[in-house]
Amino acid sequence: MSRKTFRSIRRIAPVLLAAALTGVAGCAVPGTPMAGESDVRSLDIGAYPVDRHTYEQDSHGAGALLEGMRMSEAVATGPRIDHSLIVGQGSRVVADAAEAEAGFLAAGSDAVLSRHEFVVGYGAGSSDTLEPTDETPTATAVVDLVMRFPTDAAAKAAARDLEDVDFAFAPEQNQRLSLAEFPDAYIHWRPSVANIGAFWPYGEFIVSLFIQRPSADSADLLEWVRKTLTAQRDVLDAFRPTDSGKLPSLRVDPDNLLARVVTSQRGFRTPDPDSFGVYGPSRFVHSVLDSVLSERLLTDAGADRLAIVDSGWILRARDARGATALVSGIAGSIGTGFDVIDGPAGVPGAKCFTRNSEGDPTNAGFRCYVSYKRYAAFVDSDDETDVRRKAAAQYALLANSL
């Protein structure tokens, strides 16, 4: 077996890409308040645009990438696989064959994927510990990559060929295993090595697994393959892929959610998995340190969409009560690396924080959470004045957009 280890799977932080912004002068906000709401025209929003907005919907050839973002809901979260997988290790769209090989698969897999017309994929990691690596042999961790192909036949052939490439890296050591419940899954391991790999074709998809456990027990490893494939079958059965011929016509943001995320960069934008895209709520769960709590919060709130623009995001909940609960729950689980600070004046329920000496220095220095009607939002900045203005602008933008 020659899969990538957890150290090589790029972790995507739960707050996504941080941006350092500077404070700007305050100005008035357009809009008329509804009964019982703050008058957003009086908020200090700096120079952030908060009028109703719409981005171009044509993907300009990025339809497969948009489908990859939709596939966040085609990959099982850790808690759905096993209750012990409490830490999201990050997730990402896998845009092409080269990226699939570089991040997840054995050398030589690129050619296999290209030959069988790989469309797009989505990969995620989950574990029972913060940083599972070769140096943490007691960890349980799962890397789960779901790949889309144009036909069932292409996926079936590609799974066989991917298995051959992976197995061939140590043919004298690798041994094939099987599961009665998944007879068409290709599974192998190295005896005395506490991990296992699998390729399972399911319709036009392939599920590729790399699983690490504390001990080299083939029965135990097979059980983990079984429970992961079972969880994957459930989410794939619920997922509705876009017909291959309709990928070019996918709209960038059919619900106009991206235009409701505050940003200073409103010019022409193209789909980008890290800084301009719409996902299902599992994208959030895949990337947070307490995935069990996050999945419960999102499920209870009826969250169905996550929109990301630059370093900010919004979650769409079932209703206003759900959005308020999301802000309270997510902010309440922020941990010891942040201290509470005052939120922006005039923004009800805003929760703001500053990073302290225990906080991860890769995070922005300040962050705020706000909600408006059925939307929960996050903003960050390295400037305290700016983060309050940005939070106020986010609230005003939501108010003006609905």
Is residue 50 pLDDT above 80, yes or no? yes
Is residue 318 pLDDT above 60, yes or no? yes
Contacts of 299 (CB under 8 A, 6+ apart): none
Is residue 38 pLDDT above 90, yes or no? no
Q: What is the pLDDT of residue 329?
A: 96
Sheet strands side by side (includes 120-127): 87-94, 120-127, 141-148, 205-212, 195-202, 186-189, 175-177
Q: What is the pLDDT of residue 330?
A: 95
Residues 145-199: tens digit of each pLDDT = 999 999 999 999 999 999 999 999 999 999 999 999 999 999 999 999 999 999 9
Q: How many CB atoms are closer than 10 A to CB 234?
A: 12
Side-chain half-sphere exposure of 177, counting CA atoms within 13 A: 25
Q: What is the pLDDT of residue 335?
A: 87
Cβ atoms of residues 27 and 45 within 8 Å:
yes
Cβ atoms of residues 231 and 80 within 8 Å:
yes
Q: What is the pLDDT of residue 135?
A: 58
Is residue 118 pLDDT above 50, yes or no? yes
Residue 222's DSSP bridge partners are: none
Helix (H, G, I), strand (E, B) or coil at 276: strand
Contacts of 2 (CB under 8 A, 6+ apart): 106, 107, 166, 169, 170
Q: What is the mean pLDDT of residues 202-221?
A: 97
Q: What share of the chain has pLDDT > 70, as a percent?
A: 89
| Residue 130 confidence class, pLDDT cut points 50, 70, 90 | confident
Q: How far apart are CA 193 and CA 207, in angstroms?
A: 22
Contacts of 326 (CB under 8 A, 6+ apart): 297, 298, 301, 303, 315, 317, 371, 376
| Residue 277 confidence class, pLDDT cut points 50, 70, 90 | very high
Q: What is the pLDDT of residue 133?
A: 61
Residues 217-229: tens digit of each pLDDT = 999 999 999 999 9
Q: How many CB atoms are closer than 10 A to CB 319?
A: 12
Q: What is the pLDDT of residue 6?
A: 45
**143 phi/psi in degrees, rounded to 5:** -105, 125
Pair of tokens at residue 2:
């020659």
Is residue 22 pLDDT above 60, yes or no? no
Q: What is the pLDDT of residue 27?
A: 35
Pair of tokens at residue 79:
């808690």
Is residue 31 pLDDT above 70, yes or no? no
Pair of tokens at residue 62:
């990025």
| Residue 39 confidence class, pLDDT cut points 50, 70, 90 | confident
Q: How far apart are CA 334 and CA 353, in angstroms?
A: 9
Is residue 365 pLDDT above 50, yes or no? yes
Place of tokens 């939070």: 391
Residues 191-201: tens digit of each pLDDT = 999 999 999 99
Question: In terms of Cα–Cα distance, which of 337, 292, 289, 16 is closest to 130?
Answer: 289
Is residue 8 pLDDT above 50, yes or no? no
Q: What is the pLDDT of residue 320?
A: 98
Rg of the chain over all Cα atoms, to the nearest angstrom: 22
Q: What is the pLDDT of residue 154?
A: 98
Question: In terms of Cα–Cα distance, which of 26, 29, 192, 210 is closest to 104?
Answer: 210
Q: What share of the chain has pLDDT > 90, as a percent?
A: 85
The DSSP annotation for 41-87 comes to GGS--TT---S------B-TT-HHHHHHHHGGGGS--HHHH-TT--E
Q: What is the mean pLDDT of residues 281-310?
A: 96
**DSSP-assigned letter for residue 247:** G
Q: What is the pLDDT of residue 1?
A: 67
Q: What is the mean pLDDT of residues 83-112?
A: 96
